[in-house]
Structure 1
Amino acid sequence: MRITLLVLFSTLLVGCGSLSAQTDNDDYRQQAIEILESVPLFDGHNDAPWQYRNRVGYKFSELDFYDTTQFERPMHTDIPRLRDGRVGAQWWSVYVPAGIPEPTAVKQTMEQIDFVHRMTERYPDVFEMALTADDVERIFEDGKIASLIGMEGGHSINNSLATLRMFYELGARYMTITHSRTLDWADAAGDEPRHGGLTEFGEEVIREMNRLGMMVDLSHVTPETMKDALRVTEAPVMFSHSNARAVSGHPRNVPDDVIMMLPEKDGLVMVTFVESFTSEELRQYYAERNGYRAKMESLWGGQPDRISEAMEAWEAENEAPKSTLEQVADHIDYIRDLVGVDYIGIGGDYDGVSSLPLGLEDVSTYPDLFAELLKRGYSEEDLEKIAGLNMLRVLRGAEEVSERLREERGPSEVLITDFE
């Protein structure tokens, strides 16, 4: 009888502990929601425009943004889930592939921008275009999602500062210097570097972006390009969707020495949810898988069926690890410990990737990440900064530099051919 009572008592203790932990988690989540309802959650990167291009040719008549789950592979983003996630301000990525001819990239980027404008016009009770930090705050106070445009890759300007200026006039407020391909004026991460960073024309691109008030986004570039841009820029910079390279060594992530330069230029790393940028274990897995594929292709070149069979067998024996919400929080911890919370934001990259960390499967899950940070001891003030106040400060800083530079000089007349 005594043993039975002890077992029963232990069981009750375990049950009470689980209930208490769940109650704590619920409390943290509710606190996170209250924080995200007080300041705009400002996400740095969402590729819904690209998904609309690929799935329905930009036709809202064929895909209502109130429900994008109808596909075999549902989108990560729609209006109800944005609301559930308490998103207050969104940088919509207007991405086109880096490998297409650059004149074509100009046209396709304009089509992406047109989509964002049409989206805000079609759902005026939900979205409103924002061009300034003041716009973001006003729109958030009105209960809508402030919508800003970020160009993902300098290939979209076709080596032309005039084209850059016209994209600014169309509403673009940041440009990622490169995407996956090294340009005539800037080296990209993941591609063969040719310039050791920025060329002279590339430096002029940064200066003209500063004058316009267009944010310089350094996701996707090499560390040398990052450092050149930080040397040249007079305005704050951003990484719209990158993590800490010391935590996961992916070349798209930011090295420590660059992170430590951000306070001087008031920059911002918007921590992303891309799995291989998040998990070093997964990055290593991909490297091993790619190495095995290269071996099979060398052994069985010209026999694709045999290569496929070998890869299927390897993958059956080697299960891929899964990244987690907690690992995303680890990147935030790392950057905070290195330079402080003032230089951290969030850049999910929803609808730009095929898979996401456990716990961050779509845009409705942002409160869960902020609940995890509360659990780790972050203050409400810390989370207000990470959610949106840091991005608003950085955006406002770029606007202030632009106002000064526009008084000092007119549009640049430099051509890339001036340097050939």
Structure 2
Amino acid sequence: MTDDLHRRSVVADTHNDLLCSVVGRPVERWSSYFREQWLPQLRQGGVNLQVLPVFIDDLYRPEGALRQTLRMIEAAHRIAEGNPDAVELCFNGADIDHALGAGRIALVLALESAPGIGEDVELLETLDRLGVRIASLAHFGRTALADGSGEDHTGSRLTRAGIAAVAEMERLGMLFDVSHLGAAGVDHVLELATRPVIATHSSARALRDHHRNLTDDQLSGIAANGGVVCVNFFAPFLHETDYRIERLIDHIEHIAGVMGVDRVGLGPDFVKEVLADVVMPCCEAAEVEGVPTDQFLPGLEGPAGLPLVTEALLARGWAEHDIAKVLGGNVLTLFRGQLGRAAH
């Protein structure tokens, strides 16, 4: 029953940093490496819709951030061009429906913190032309546009350039991603936003008091805005010590209880393989922002394990139609209505 429901549902993963892994290979291997290493995992997990964040490591900031941003965007295009039978780079809801109808995985490009643009908000249009359809303004720290959640003690809202970025993204039809944004920044965005927003990989602060998670007030605000919150699977963001799938389901249920079942999705943030690829073993940090980097939900270290979520939700007594919404139906509805739709 689990496998049948999972395969019948649209499964959307709104945050997998696999591009970081791909661009670490020689350019001529980008397409084939994706096909050999990541495509089997996505298929095993039943993924139909994959958001590809463009995350820029500290090594490239600030001088090389824009160049690395462009390399990662180019990698996504080459993945799609080199695997046309399996994936399709999508720019709007119609593209996604076309990919799904053809049995291909729909890929959507996103910027994570956008360090490459600095205060040059006009570059958002350039990146939009290249296919980017989702963006956030900060990671853990401070950018020219906003403060990340690691700077919450400053109480900072968006900068003047950040305010302009929100308006420009809404004009272009680029979804604003509040994941990683500081608490005051999330509130500021919700004051400014005239279109729905998304949290691509955030969990519930009421269950795990970490700055990377969203408070119930923030969840309610995003629900009122018409947005969707996609739950992060990273174990230390779900519980201090209990790293079992049951804690993930707790977060899904809590967020659904606050926002409604139509406002919840999955943003796994599968980082185990990516960290193994991009961090030198001799330099691997034991913690990032106060949480261990080597703890994962058993079976959910990568996309192949996604059917376990369906199984766990069924075990909790969830109705099949509600499970289908959480697996990807809600994200698909949001993308169909907003992605790439320029403001009139």
Please, what TM-score do these two structures have when normalized by structure 2?
0.88
Q: Is the 8 A contact 1:103 1:158 kept in 2?
A: no
Select which of 344, 350, 366 maps to 2:264. 344
SS at match of 2:224: helix
Distance 1:51 1:399 in 2: 26
Q: Is the 8 A contact 2:22 2:30 kept in 1?
A: no
Distance 2:163 2:197 in 1: 14
Select which of 170, 173, 191 maps to 1:210. 170
- 1:60-113 Cα shifts (integer Å, max 9, x gaps): 279633443xxxxxxxxx212211111000001111125744342111101000
Q: 1:263 aligns to what? A: 223
Alignment partner of 1:65 is 2:34: yes
User: CA distance change for structure 1 residues 359 and 336 in 2, over 3 Å: closer, same or farther?
Assistant: same
Q: Is the 8 A contact 2:152 2:211 kept in 1?
A: no
Q: Is the 8 A contact 1:350 1:362 kept in 2?
A: yes
Select which of 249, 261, 269 maps to 2:209. 249
Q: 2:322 aligns to what? A: 382
User: CA distance change for structure 1 residues 368 and 198 in 2, over 3 Å: closer, same or farther?
Assistant: same
Q: Which runs of 5+ in 2 are unaligned?
A: 276-293
SS at match of 1:94: strand
Distance 1:175 1:151 in 2: 4
Aligned length: 324
Distance 1:185 1:155 in 2: 9
Alignment partner of 1:393 is 2:333: yes
Select which of 301, 323, 336 maps to 1:361. 301
Select which of 1, 10, 17 maps to 1:47. 17
Q: Is the 8 A contact 2:140 2:149 kept in 1?
A: yes
Q: Is the 8 A contact 1:105 1:156 kept in 2?
A: yes
- 1:321-348 Cα shifts (integer Å, max 9, x gaps): x512111111001111222111110011
User: CA distance change for structure 1 residues 62 and 122 in 2, over 3 Å: closer, same or farther?
Assistant: closer
SS at match of 1:60: helix
Distance 2:269 2:314 in 1: 23
Higher helix fraction (1 or 2): 1
The amino acid that maps onto 1:43 is D
Distance 1:59 1:253 in 2: 38
Please, what TM-score do these two structures have when normalized by structure 1?
0.73
The amino acid that maps onto 2:224 is E
Distance 1:261 1:162 in 2: 28
Distance 2:14 2:255 in 1: 17
Distance 1:100 1:137 in 2: 35
- 1:161-180 Cα shifts (integer Å, max 9, x gaps): 22111011100010122112
The amino acid that maps onto 2:247 is Q
What displacement does 1:192 show? 6.4
- 1:242-262 Cα shifts (integer Å, max 9, x gaps): 110111111111111100112
Distance 2:147 2:198 in 1: 17
SS at match of 2:8: coil
Residues 16-415 of structure 1: pairs in structure 2 closer than 5 A:
27=1, 29-30=2-3, 34-54=4-24, 56-60=25-29, 64-68=33-37, 78-97=38-57, 100-191=60-151, 196-281=156-241, 323-351=243-271, 352=274, 355-399=295-339, 402-403=341-342, 405=343, 407=344
Which shows bigger deviation, 107-116 or 200-209? 200-209
The amino acid that maps onto 1:356 is F
RMSD of the TM alignment (CA)?
2.0
Which shows bigger deviation, 87-96 or 359-368? 359-368
What displacement does 1:39 show? 3.5
What displacement does 1:155 show? 1.6
Distance 2:155 2:28 in 1: 41
User: CA distance change for structure 1 residues 247 and 61 in 2, over 3 Å: closer, same or farther?
Assistant: closer
Q: Is the 8 A contact 1:186 1:195 kept in 2?
A: no
Distance 1:228 1:140 in 2: 35
Task: Tell me which structure has the larger Cα radius of gyration.
Answer: 1
SS at match of 2:207: coil
